[in-house]
Amino acid sequence: MEAIQNLVEYYDELYPVSTEQFDFYKSLLQQYSKPVKFLGIGCGTGVLESRLAKEITDVTGLETIKELLDSATRKHRTQLMSIRFFKMSTIEMARFLGKKFYNVISCLNDRIIFIHDEILLRKFFFDCKQLLADNGSLVLTLTNYDLYRNQPVAFLPERCSMRAKLKSKLEFLNNGYFLTRTIETGNGKVIPIYTKTSVYPITMAEIKKFAMEAGFSVVNFFNGYCKENLDSKSSEIMVVIK
Nearest-10 crossing angle of helices 118-131, 204-213: 50
Identity of the residue numbered 166: L
Residue 77's pLDDT is: 57
The alpha carbon torsion through 238, 146, 211, 179 (nearest 10 deg) reads: -80
The C-alpha atoms of residue 56 and residue 27 are separated, in whole angstroms, by: 12
- If phi > 0 it is left, if psi is from -120 to 50 it is alpha, else beta; for residue 174 that is left
Residue 124 has pLDDT above 70, yes or no: yes
Q: Which helix (H) or strand (E) holds 171?
A: strand 164-173
- C-alpha angle 15/222/86, rounded to 5°? 40
- The string of pLDDT tens digits covering residues 59-105 is 999 999 999 999 998 876 556 678 999 999 999 999 999 999 999 99
Total Cβ atoms within 10 A of residue 32: 18
Residue 6's pLDDT is: 85
Residue 82's pLDDT is: 86
Residue 213 has pLDDT above 70, yes or no: yes
Q: Region 184-189: what's the mean pLDDT?
A: 90
Q: Region 182-206: what's the mean pLDDT?
A: 94
| Average pLDDT along the chain | 93
The C-alpha atoms of residue 139 and residue 167 are separated, in whole angstroms, by: 24
Cα–Cα nearest to 3, from 164, 183, 171 = 183
The C-alpha atoms of residue 52 and residue 56 are separated, in whole angstroms, by: 6
Q: Region 220-231: what's the mean pLDDT?
A: 93
Question: 3-class DSSP state for residue 99?
Answer: coil
Alpha helices in the chain (DSSP H): 5-14, 19-29, 47-53, 66-75, 90-96, 118-131, 204-213
The C-alpha atoms of residue 175 and residue 172 are separated, in whole angstroms, by: 7
The C-alpha atoms of residue 59 and residue 57 are separated, in whole angstroms, by: 7
The C-alpha atoms of residue 216 and residue 166 are separated, in whole angstroms, by: 34
The C-alpha atoms of residue 1 and residue 198 are separated, in whole angstroms, by: 10
| Sign of the dihedral defined by the CA atoms of residues 205, 181, 119, 152, in that order | positive
Q: List, in order, residues 6 or more apart from 165 with CB less than 8 Å away.
A: 158, 159, 183, 184
Radius of gyration of the chain (CA): 17
